[in-house]
Amino acid sequence: MKNKALAFLFVFISLGILTGFKSDTPTPKDGEIKWISIEEAFTRIQKEPRKVLIDVYTDWCGWCKVMDRETFKNKAVVDYINKHYYAVKLNAEQKEAITLSGKQFVNQGRTHDLALALTNNQPSYPTTVFLDDTFKMIQPLPGYMKAKEFHQVITFFGENYHKKQDFETYKSKTYPGIYP
């Protein structure tokens, strides 16, 4: 009887432990981008500076879903982003307020104020926004990108080539003959 009670207690505690440690951000599987909230990226950057990649999307955007399904599942893209960036998904139409560095951003209509700020008041979906390791804007890039093209872009910003040369020069020197 005592052994059954101990076994039940062990199972009960184990289940409590397994279900008790929940995070706001789902744990990514191997081979997936480790998406976090923009608030979490802002907090992490204070302790461990790293560039930030923000996928500004909407639930109804077809090209956003194609990027999720194809570009953001590409192994080279996933590996590079997870190593060099904090990756953020931002629903441009979310209703929840976002507070960064004491400033609150809200949705006053159809598009969230933070999405408008990140896209220079020209929302287009998807838009990939690149921030430096101090949370300052590098550049927003509107539109769908295939995995190979996207990999060129994330390495261009990720390794600071954007500070030395334009993208076309970088692409022609780094990827000659590989990409059309």
Residue 31's pLDDT band (cuts 50, 70, 90): confident
Q: Residue 75: which CATH number? A: 3.40.30.10
148 falls within a domain: yes
- Counting the structural domains of the chain, the total is 1
Over range 118-147, report the average pLDDT. Answer: 97
21 falls within a domain: no
Lowest mean pLDDT among 6-20, 109-123, 144-158, 162-176: 6-20
Residues near 108 by Cβ (< 8 Å), separated by ≥ 6? none
Alpha helices in the chain (DSSP H): 2-20, 38-47, 62-69, 75-84, 113-118, 147-158, 167-174
% of residues, the chain, pLDDT over 90: 77
Which among 151, 138, 135 is positioned nearest to 72, based on CA atoms? 151
pLDDT tens string 157-176: 999 999 999 999 998 888 76
Over range 74-86, report the average pLDDT. Answer: 97
